[in-house]
Amino acid sequence: MPRPQKCRRVAYLPPVTYFKPAGIPLGSLEEVVLTVEEAEALRLKDIEGLEQGESAEKMNISRSTFQRVLASARQKIADAILNGKAVNIKGGNFEMAFHRFRCRRGHEWDLATPVDATPESCPTCSTEDVQPVPVTGKGYAGRGWGKHRGQNI
Ligand SMILES: [Zn+2]
């Protein structure tokens, strides 16, 4: 039995999860699968410009694990771009770093919180009728909020 992997913490879900090169017939198109935590590693290091240690801390993993995840992500992106492959962002082993809440009047907001603590009132209209909602989005249907394994998406 392989040791169960520690969940990587992810704070961002890419809005677009499939990239296809132009001008390649679908039949001969190869696909690279980038996991959600690999996308997060790229975001932290290459978009946010964080140091490796900081990025590792945000994802709740060791520096060496972060380095591995990042190297794998870059290798896949390079492979896709240079060899004309599609990129599919999905799956992996992660938990969301935020919870989403909605008030009775329909306002929604995300809270970066490690626990399932429902806020007392809506930050927009101050109503106290607030409920947690599952985080969903294109390519992520059915995902729950909070601690959630990503294998089934
Ligand atoms: Zn509200």
Q: What is the pTM of this model?
A: 0.69
124 alpha carbon – ligand 1 mean position (Å): 5
Give bridge partners of residue 99 from the DSSP assignment: 111
Q: Report how far residue 75's alpha carbon sits from residue 72's, in angstroms, rounded to the nearest whole number.
A: 5
Q: Locate 119 and state its tokens.
A: 């806020």
Q: Locate 36 and state its tokens.
A: 């959600």
* pLDDT on residue 66: 97
Cα distances (Å, whole numbers) of residue 76 to 41, 49, 92, 95, 109: 13, 20, 14, 22, 33
138 alpha carbon – ligand 1 mean position (Å): 24
Contact (CB, 8 A) for 96 and 135? yes
Q: Mean pLDDT in runs of 10 for the chain (153 residues)?
A: 70 88 87 95 96 94 97 98 94 83 91 70 93 60 38 39
Give ion ligand 1 contacts, CB < 5 A: 103, 105, 107, 122, 124-125
* pLDDT on residue 116: 59
116 alpha carbon – ligand 1 mean position (Å): 19
